[in-house]
Amino acid sequence: MRDLIVSLVILSLLPVSYRRPFVGVMSFSWLAYMRVQDLAWGAARSMRWSYYVAIVMLAGFVVQGRQRWFVPDWRVYAMLLMILLVIVSAAISTGLPAEVKEQQFDRVLEFVKIIGIAVFTTAVVTTREHLRLLVWIIALSFAFYGVKDGVWAILTGFQGRIIQGPGGLIADNNDYALAIAMTVSMLFCIAQSERRPVLRRAFFLMVPLCIFTVLLTYSRGGLLSLVTGSFVMLWRSKFRWRGLLGGAVLAGVLVALMPASMYERFASIGQYQSEGSAQARFKSWAVGYRMALDNPIWGVGLQGFRANYLRYEPNPTPENLAGEGTKVAHNSYIQLWAECGTPSLILYLALFAGSFWTIWRVRARAKRIYSDSWILHYCTMFEATLASFLVGSVFLNRAHYDLIYHWFAIVLLFGIFAHADMDDPTSGQHRRRGRGQLRSVPTTGFQRTLDRARPDGFTWGQA
């Protein structure tokens, strides 16, 4: 029955995705991030639903009239150039076993899909209401699991442990913790920009449950991501110092109440000089560094780190020689540098820099105009999630993480819509600094600008 329901729901989305490619992007995101097909048990579980949706929505986009193929922004060109660099790097890589070359081909196709969806998103997301819906789909897809496991944490008295994620890009418990840590920032900032009290309370309620889920993964990288995102949100709040003090108190309460095994796991972060896992990571970083220096332009090829590990490890352990032990970079930046070369790493870091620059420019302008606004809340959301990923990916091989490239495209679009909103004050209802008048327009559900008096000042604009 579950297979039938999942199949019917997805099949019903295909004709709509053809007629409205934006619905296709939302459907694809739902399938990629929530992995609804993994909730089935039969044939629906193994179907490549996301590929079917992608083919249908792309066909509809090509056949129907369109405004643009993509936004002509340097970040889009940077992502497209990364595809070219990764393909060339893989094509010229040598000395890899046949099974590794086969895996490499699959990973290259996967990377093309990841970038393709990000670029396609800039073509079909044409209004800020589209942006809002897409952000909601992504946040709620991850929140589904964060809330479920958070409830489980409470029911078991935090005595359980999440040893793996639901599947897909969050199959590993560390990847799962990273995604849910980013989701905490999404949910909190969405709640702040939500007018309807019921939805606000629902989003705020999800936040602690997702925090519990991150803790139950026992992922130290996930914990650092969570702390980073929380710090950014508190620092950007109107009540910065009270917020930081309250956050410190809540953190102290969580530490006092968490099980001894969880505390010992997280406390080992400060024992990196003697802790085995940390030392293994440092060793892998050194191997990746030597690998990158020896292959500075093209790297050793996607998926080539493990196959080339022993060539650049001067002191291999018996486990390494036996084909066991740590043989991955455990660092997204070193992974990309070693496997795909310096130009790819520069483009990757430039995408982060460009995203932060967009956020900071929008925030600086919005703060001069509004006392409070959905624009400011979304600035905080994007800044916190990017910072969470930057920190968490220091300890994970996630240079080709689906969400982060999608996020680059979404931040690009956010900058466009936010500046358009500020250029046209008649497009919605405002509370501007130094002005007392509000212009009324029909409301649709996207908070336009908040007044200081809550909740009566919650105003929404026409998308």
In a domain, 56, yes or no: yes
pLDDT at residue number 460:
32
The verdict on residue 30 lying in a domain is yes
pLDDT band at 292 (very low <50, low <70, confident <90, very high): very high
For 363-382, what is each residue's pLDDT tens digit?
Answer: 999 988 887 788 999 999 99
Q: Does residue 46 lie within any of the structural domains?
A: yes
- Which position has the higher pLDDT, 58 or 243? 58
Mean of all residue pLDDT scores within the chain? 84
Q: Which residue has the higher pLDDT, 280 or 136?
A: 136
Q: Give the pLDDT band (50/70/90) at residue 329.
A: confident
Q: How far apart are CA 339 and CA 312, in angstroms?
A: 13
Q: Name the pLDDT band for 281 (thresholds 50, 70, 90).
A: confident
The pLDDT of 60-84, averaged and rounded, is 89
* CA angle (225, 230, 231) in 5-degree steps: 100
Residue 276 has what pLDDT? 64
Tokens 């890899």 correspond to 96
- Residue 451: which pLDDT band, with cuts at 50, 70 and 90? very low
Q: How many structural domains does the chain have? A: 1
| Least reliable range by pLDDT among 5-9, 61-65, 406-410, 425-429 | 425-429
CA distance 402 to 358: 21
Q: Out of 171-175, 356-360, 425-429, which region has the weakest mean confidence (pLDDT)?
A: 425-429
Confidence of residue 318 (pLDDT cuts 50, 70, 90): low
Q: Which helix or strand (DSSP H or E) is residue 240 part of?
A: helix 240-257
Distance separating alpha carbons of residues 250 and 231, to the nearest angstrom:
13
Does pLDDT of 319 surpass 80? no
| Residue 50: per-residue pLDDT | 85
Residue 171 domain-assigned (yes or no) = no
In-domain check, residue 313: no
Residue 37, domain member (yes or no): yes
Q: Over 70: is that where the pLDDT of 449 sits?
A: no
| The pLDDT of residue 324 | 61
pLDDT at position 370 is 80
Residue 446 has pLDDT above 70, yes or no: no
Residues 157, 149: Cα–Cα separation, whole Å: 12
Higher per-residue pLDDT: 2 or 192: 192
Instruction: Specify if 291 maps to a domain.
Output: no
In the structure, what pLDDT confidence band is assigned to residue 138 with cuts at 50, 70 and 90? Answer: very high
Q: What is the pLDDT of residue 136?
A: 95
pLDDT in tens, 176-192: 999 999 999 999 999 98
Tell me what the mean pLDDT of segment 4-8 comes to.
85
In a domain, 55, yes or no: yes
Res 121: pLDDT? 94
DSSP-derived 3-state class of residue 461: strand
At residue 68 the predicted structure's pLDDT band, cuts being 50, 70 and 90, is confident
**pLDDT of amino acid 438:** 27
DSSP 380-426: HHHHHHHHHHHHHTTSS--TT-HHHHHHHHHHHHHHHHHHHHHH-GG
* Cis status of the peptide bond prior to 442, with omega within 30 of 0: no
**Structural domain boundaries, residue 53:** 16-63
Q: Pick the residue with more confidence: 48 or 133?
A: 133
Residue 343 pLDDT > 70? yes
Tell me the pLDDT band of 325, cut-offs 50, 70 and 90. Answer: low
Non-local CB neighbours of 385 within 8 Å, separated by 6+ positions: 182, 185, 186, 229, 407
Q: Are 431 and 438 in contact (CB under 8 A)?
A: yes
Position 457 confidence tier, pLDDT thresholds 50, 70, 90: very low
The pLDDT score that the predictor gives to residue 439 is 30
- Residue bearing the bigger pLDDT, 245 or 43: 245
Is the pLDDT at 165 greater than 90? The verdict is no
Query: Residue 249: which pLDDT band, with cuts at 50, 70 and 90?
Result: confident
Would the pTM of this model clear 0.85, i.e. be above it?
Answer: yes
Lowest mean pLDDT among 123-127, 231-235, 309-313, 423-427: 423-427
Mean pLDDT highest for which of 17-21, 55-59, 139-143, 440-444? 139-143
